[in-house]
Amino acid sequence: MPQDAYCAHATTAQDIRHANLLPIGSKFPPGRVGSVRVAGSKFSNEVKQMFRHIQRVARRLINQRNPPVITHRPARPDILTTFDAACWRTRFSAPWLPIGMLAGALLGLASSLAQAQVPLTGVQKIAAGRFHTCALTSGGAVQCWGLNDFGQLGDSTTTQRIVPTAVPSLTSGVTAITAGSDHTCALTSGGAVQCWGSNSNGQLGDNTTTQRIVPTAVPSLTSGVTAIAAARFHTCALTSGGAVQCWGLNDFGQLGDNTLTQHFVPTAVPSLTSGVTAITA
């Protein structure tokens, strides 16, 4: 751990004044430390989450016999009135302390994650994209979780979800799901296709390149579809007559229409207008 990776907070305004009078290199007053936190914003959310558990362990250890050593004071200590605003950069005098803190943090993190697990029962199908996953329940509902920067979770937000989250407009009637890199599609019991998420190459099939944060109908596929398959930037559908239609990126001919032109709407694969029983992407 870097020596300057921690900040100590006093617990009262009196302790703030006390700490400000201490010279650099002196120990932070034992028993007067409210918490320890990671300084800076360069750490990922996962690391910050882990260090929240480190705080709890550190607070107990620091308040005993190994207070941190002050190496830096706040720029304007004279205007600080609450402990939340006061941060003294510190290093730990005991070399084993960061190790003990890390061990405690890992135990706390494991416990926290175990408690955060949400049982997902009755799942009949799953689909995984690049950084997101979706599940189809036996009741025909869709739940998704993971990265949501393009709205690929379909919950009308771009907020990342760390537990399965319902797609509000798809609580029943879905028979199949598929996921591309950053987009998701669902097939309804009526044979209609709905897609959402990234649409940079027309992979949602709605004749636009606008990303969608909620399931959006593919206008030309409102019935008669029996299967769907999504790849990184393109999607395909199989109709009840055994025909295949594809749309999206086509730089390598992945749409099968004898061109390298991307398509924003479902486009027939000329050699597969009947007789097909399954598709994949």
pLDDT band for position 99 (50/70/90)?
very low
pLDDT band for position 119 (50/70/90)?
low
Task: Show the tokens assigned to 257.
Answer: 């229409």
Mean of the pLDDT values across residues 41-55?
51
pLDDT for the residue 24? 61
Greater confidence (193 vs 95) lies with 193
Greater confidence (25 vs 100) lies with 25
Kindly give, in sequence order, each residue whose CB lies less than 8 Å from that of residue 44, ignoring residues fewer than 6 positions away: none
pLDDT > 50? residue 95: no
Of 117, 68, 129, 71, the C-alpha closest to 94 is 68
Greater confidence (6 vs 29) lies with 29
pLDDT > 50? residue 254: yes
Secondary structure (DSSP) of the chain: --TTSEEEEESSHHHHHHHHHSPTTSBPPTT-EEEEEE-SS-S-HHHHHHHHHHHHHHHHHHTTT-PPEEEE--S-GGG--SGGG--EEEE-S-TTHHHHHHHHHHHHHHHHHHHH-----SEEEEEE-SSEEEEEETTS-EEEEE--TTSTT-SSS---EEEEEE-TT-SS-EEEEEE-SSEEEEEETTS-EEEEE--TTSTT-SSS---EEEEEE-TT-SS-EEEEEE-SSEEEEEETTS-EEEEE--TTSTT-SSS---EEEEEE-TT-SS-------
Alpha-carbon torsion angle 246, 247, 251, 253, nearest 10 = 10
**CB of 93 closer than 8 Å to CB of 138:** no
Q: What share of the chain in percent tops pLDDT 70?
A: 58
CA dist., res. 183 & res. 204, Å (int): 8
pLDDT for the residue 84? 38
Mean of the pLDDT values across residues 86-107?
46
φ, ψ of residue 36 in degrees (nearest 5)? -130, 135
pLDDT for the residue 1? 34
Mean per-residue pLDDT of the chain:
76
At 125-151, the pLDDT tens digits run: 999 999 999 999 999 999 999 999 999
- Bridge partners of 228? 237
pLDDT for the residue 72? 53
pLDDT > 90? residue 86: no
pLDDT band for position 43 (50/70/90)?
very low
* Type of residue found at 188: T
At 145-193, the pLDDT tens digits run: 999 999 999 999 999 998 899 999 999 999 999 999 999 999 999 999 9
pLDDT band for position 120 (50/70/90)?
confident
pLDDT > 70? residue 76: no
pLDDT band for position 83 (50/70/90)?
very low
Q: Please name the residue that has the structure tokens 């189809």.
A: 136
At 192-235, the pLDDT tens digits run: 999 999 999 999 999 999 999 999 999 999 999 999 999 999 99
